[in-house]
């Protein structure tokens, strides 16, 4: 889970949950994360009102996903685009990191998924999020050079989170990775124009397939001479720096890091 720092800090939340009979400890990497190991003797005894989907103190979110928002390193007052925002975990985390100061545009093609983001934002008190139904692969209703940062948590095979959704391996067909990689490249190429000079694009996927990771970044750099890679380690909390490889890419591995398999890169517009 992730502490909603808009309303409470992690130490205070853990103390409250322990009093409610919920065993929880600080997570390994995320500065706002917590790992629940046991609820006893039952959720009813702990009190459903104190531990439910309506609780504004926390949001259930994989730790790897939380690290991606840390890589954005948002600052209060910035204007940020979350290009494929649903379900809204990273969006609301970014708002909390910005201390509810600035603006975040959350895009998604699905109206129902946007409503889910809006509901989550209201529950958590993330007031700076504006939603818009749009396909980030196409021309957007924003001026060029509009955003300080753009987060693209791209559509992908999802093969990095098999432990959570094991049926994915039966749904991925031959040729899907090539199609997804092409779409990811088109998304990045389209979004690049909306980033301010000096701004950053963070690209992330919950997969460990090369076609969806480094190959996509190479495509952006070859098509856009005005971008350079940044070392992810320079922007992450100290415990996360070990997750960054020699090329500056962020990796999380389910078997070694205890969270979903994610890949992320941070690029700067010159």
Using an 8 Å Cβ cutoff, are 149 and 68 in contact? no
Whether residue 206 lies in the annotated active site = yes
Please measure the distance between the N-terminal and C-terminal CA atoms of the chain and give it in whole angstroms.
36
41: cis peptide before it, omega within 30°?
yes
Task: Give the helix/strand (H/E) hosting 123.
Answer: helix 111-124
Which entry of 70, 156, 206, 240 is annotated as an active-site residue?
206
Contacts of 246 (CB under 8 A, 6+ apart): none
Using an 8 Å Cβ cutoff, are 262 and 250 in contact? yes
Alpha-carbon distance of 21 to 10, in angstroms, equals: 17
Alpha-carbon distance of 93 to 68, in angstroms, equals: 10
**Angle between the 176-191 and 214-223 helix axes, to the nearest 10 degrees?**
40
* b/e per residue 150-160 (b: at least 16 CB within 10 A): bbbbbbbbbbb
What is the three-class DSSP state of 169? helix
Number of H helices, E strands in the chain: 9, 12
Q: Which residues are catalytic?
A: 206
């Amino acid at each position: 889970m992730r502490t909603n720092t808009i309303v409470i800090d992690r130490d205070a939340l853990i103390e409250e949950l322990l009093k409610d009979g919920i065993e929880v400890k600080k997570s390994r990497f995320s500065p706002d994360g917590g790992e629940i190991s046991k609820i006893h003797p039952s959720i009813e005894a702990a009190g459903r009102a104190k531990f439910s989907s309506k609780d504004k103190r926390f949001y259930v979110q994989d730790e790897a996903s939380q690290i991606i928002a840390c890589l954005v390193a948002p600052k209060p007052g910035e204007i940020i685009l979350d290009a494929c925002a649903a379900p809204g975990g990273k969006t609301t985390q970014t708002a909390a990191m910005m201390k509810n100061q600035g603006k975040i545009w959350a895009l998604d093609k699905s109206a129902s998924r946007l409503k889910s983001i809006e509901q989550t934002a209201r529950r958590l008190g993330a007031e700076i999020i504006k939603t818009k139904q749009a396909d980030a692969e196409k021309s957007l209703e924003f001026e060029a050079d509009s955003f300080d940062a753009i987060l693209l948590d791209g559509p992908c095979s999802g093969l990095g989170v098999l432990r959570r959704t094991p049926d994915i391996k039966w749904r991925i067909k031959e040729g899907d990775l090539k199609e997804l990689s092409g779409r990811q490249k088109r998304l990045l190429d389209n979004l690049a124009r909306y980033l301010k000079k000096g701004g950053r694009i963070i690209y992330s996927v919950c997969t460990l397939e090369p076609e969806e990771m480094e190959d996509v970044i190479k495509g952006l750099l070859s098509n856009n001479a005005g971008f350079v890679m940044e070392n992810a380690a320079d922007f992450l909390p100290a415990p996360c720096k070990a997750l960054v490889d020699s090329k500056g890419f962020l990796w999380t591995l389910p078997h070694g890091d205890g969270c979903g398999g994610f890949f992320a890169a941070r690029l700067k517009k010159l």
